[in-house]
Amino acid sequence: MKRRILLGSAIALGMGLSAGVSMAETPPLEVKDTYRVGFAQMESNNPWRIAETKSFHDTAESCGWELIATDAAGSAAKQVADVDSMIAQGIDVLFLPPREEKPLLPAVMKAKAAGIPTFLVDRSVDEAVAQPGEHFVAFLGSDFIEQGERAADWLSANFSGDKGIIVELEGTTGSSPANDRKKGFDDKILQDDRFEIVASQTGDFARDMGRQVMETLLQAHPEVNVVYAHNDEMAIGAIQALELAGRKPGEDITIVSIDGTRDALQAIIDGKMGVTVESSPFFGPLACDVMKRYAAGEEIPGWVKVEDRVFTIDNAADHIDEAY
Ligand code: AHR
C-alpha cells in the first residue's frame, strides 16, 4: 500500500524514473578521486547561510570536489531550477538544503530519476512523500523539535516571573526548521502553566523581517515579556525593535533563540539574550565523510543527526571566537 502511494506521488509530481534505477533504492555512487558536486543553496541573506556555503567551499579541495554552487536568492522555484541545471551539467552527487518541505520535492525526485544520489543537508523535505534510503540517501542535520524543546526547557528553568507572555517569531513558512522548532517549543512550554503564547508570526528567518514583525506585535501585545525566535537573526531584529520602543531586553523581556551566531553570543554576553540553542551550519566536512562512506558501500542511516550545544551566559564568551 505504501509503495503504491509513493509511486502515485512520484507520478503526480510528473517525475519519471530512468532505466536501471529501482524505485526502492537510491542511485549508487562510484568510488573516484574527484566528484562533480552540486550544492544548491537557498539564499545568502544571513550569516548562517553564508557560513554553510563557505563550509562547502572550504571542504571542496580536500574532498576532491569540483563544486558547482548556486544561490536561489530565497526562491524555492529558483532552487528547483538550479538543481535542474546541475543535473544538466552532469553532477555526480547533489547536496541540497531544501528551502521549504513541499516545493523542493520535484528537485529530489528529478535527481533520483537522473541517477544522482542526493543528500539533504540542514533542512528536509516532506518525508510523507520522499523518504531517506529511497528518494534521497539521508538527511544530515539537527533535531529541530529537540532544539525547540531545549529552548523551552531553558525558559521554564530560568524565568523568574509569575506569568510569561510569549511572542513567537517563526521561520520560513513551510520549512522543516520552522515547523519543528514551533512544535518542540510550543508543546513543551505549554506544559508549564505560567506561560501563554499570545502571538506567533513568521519573520522568514530574516533580521529585518523579525524587527518589523516585532514592532507590529509589540503594539498589539505591549504586555509581552518573552520572545521566542526560531533563529538568531530574527531575535537580533526583535531586540532592535524592543530597544527602539524603550524596552530593556534581558531585563524586562527575556529573549530565547536558536543558532549560535556571533551576534547572538555577543547579545548573551551583553545581557540582552538569555539563550541560543546551537544549530551548526558547518556541514562541509560531514557531507564529505558521509558521501565517501556511501560511495564505499557503507549503509548510511536515513538521518545523520548533528548534536547541538546550548549557549548561555555560562559559556558564550568561551565560544564567541569560533562563531560566525
Ligand atoms: O535550516 C536551518 C536554519 O536556516 C537556521 O537556523 C537559520 O538561521 C537558517 O536560515
Calpha distance 34→25 (Å, rounded): 24
Question: What would the pLDDT profile of 110-125 be if each residue is shown by its tens digit?
Answer: 999 999 999 999 999 9
Burial letters 108-135, b for 16+ CB under 10 A, else e: bbbbbbbbbbbbbbbbbbbbebbebebb
35: nearest Cα among 101, 111, 114, 117: 117
Query: How high is the pLDDT of residue 22?
Result: 53
H or E element: which one contains 114? Answer: none
Please tell me what DSSP assigns to residue 12.
H
Distance between Cα 94 and ligand 1 center (Å): 19
Distance between Cα 55 and ligand 1 center (Å): 15
Distance between Cα 81 and ligand 1 center (Å): 21
Question: What would the pLDDT profile of 55-110 be if each residue is shown by its tens digit?
Answer: 999 999 999 999 999 999 999 999 999 999 999 999 999 999 999 999 999 999 99
Compute the average pLDDT of residues 229-255.
98
Query: How high is the pLDDT of residue 5?
Result: 27
Query: How high is the pLDDT of residue 193?
Result: 97
Joined grid coordinates for residue 10:
512520484
Question: Quick check: 16 pLDDT over 60?
Answer: no
276: nearest Cα among 233, 214, 322: 233
Please report which confidence band the pLDDT of residue 24 belongs to, taking 50, 70 and 90 as the band edges.
Answer: confident
User: Beta strand pairing status for 310-311 and 275-278?
Assistant: antiparallel
Burial letters 150-169, b for 16+ CB under 10 A, else e: bbbbbbeeebeeeebbbbbb
Give the predicted TM-score (pTM) of the model.
0.92
Ligand 1 atom closest to residue 43's alpha carbon, by position in its atom list: 10
Question: What would the pLDDT profile of 164-193 be if each residue is shown by its tens digit?
Answer: 999 999 999 999 999 999 999 999 999 999
Q: Is the Cα dihedral 256, 260, 261, 262 positive or negative?
A: positive
Question: Quick check: 163 pLDDT over 80?
Answer: yes
Query: Read out DSSP for 45-105?
Result: SSHHHHHHHHHHHHHHHHHTEEEEEEE-TT-HHHHHHHHHHHHHTT-SEEEE--SSTTTTH
Question: Quick check: 297 pLDDT over 90?
Answer: yes
Contact 49 CB / ligand 1 (< 6 Å): yes
Question: What would the pLDDT profile of 200-231 be if each residue is shown by its tens digit?
Answer: 999 999 999 999 999 999 999 999 999 999 99
